[in-house]
Structure 1
């Protein structure tokens, strides 16, 4: 049987595994809320939202180098979030991580 800490870490890690993983993590976290799980569900949602917005903007602008930079930046943020989740830490991703916590505090 998992402890609350183990459940939070599991939710935190799953939150970064695609949109389907995020949905599963959200459902798991709603069933047994933990601070760690909620933190990473919000971080992952923020990264995904920013990714979609920046993909749309770079697609409209049509500059492939901008799109490449955006994708690499998002990959780095995703990796930083995932590493933090695996380590059981609540480190916000650079630039907007603190804002994600504020914007999505209802989750």
Structure 2
């Protein structure tokens, strides 16, 4: 990836990791001038936020708090991998499902 593209999009990519409100802000800020680096991390963040919502509504509430907590820890580790990649200026997909997030949310 071009160094200039990474430098221009790095701040918004990091903002997209600040939960749902940061994601919404990053989507709006990236909407006027599309940056491929920011778009990559917006897609990753959408997926991570969906995992959090699914974990809360399905796993934690319906299956049990211990399993929900365990999945929460896994999701937190995935979030850490993603934000570290954004901080380093590298496009790192999160393991297992990150590539699917890029396909599913290609309009962002």
TM-score by length of 2: 0.90
> In the alignment, is the contact (CA less than 8 A) between 1:39 and 1:90 conserved in 2?
yes
Residue 13 of structure 2 contacts residue 37 of structure 2 at CA under 8 Å; is this kept in 1?
yes
2:5 touches 2:37 (CA, 8 Å); kept in 1?
Answer: no
Q: Distance in 2 between matches of 1:52 and 1:20?
A: 14
Name the count of aligned residue pairs.
104
**Considering only aligned residues, what root-mean-square deviation do their CA atoms show, in Å?**
1.2
User: 1:13-24 to 2 correspondence within 5 Å?
Assistant: 13-24=14-25
Structure 2 unaligned runs (5+)? none
Once residues 18 and 81 of structure 2 are traced to their aligned partners in structure 1, the CA distance between those partners, rounded to angstroms, is 13
Per the alignment, residue 42 of structure 1 pairs with 43
Which residue is equivalent to 1:71? 72
Q: Post-superposition shift, 1:9?
A: 0.6
TM-score by length of 1: 0.91
What does the per-residue CA deviation read over 1:23-63, in whole Å, with 9 as the maximum and x for residues that have no partner?
A: 111111112111110000000000101111122111112x2
What is residue 86 of structure 2 aligned with on the other side? 85
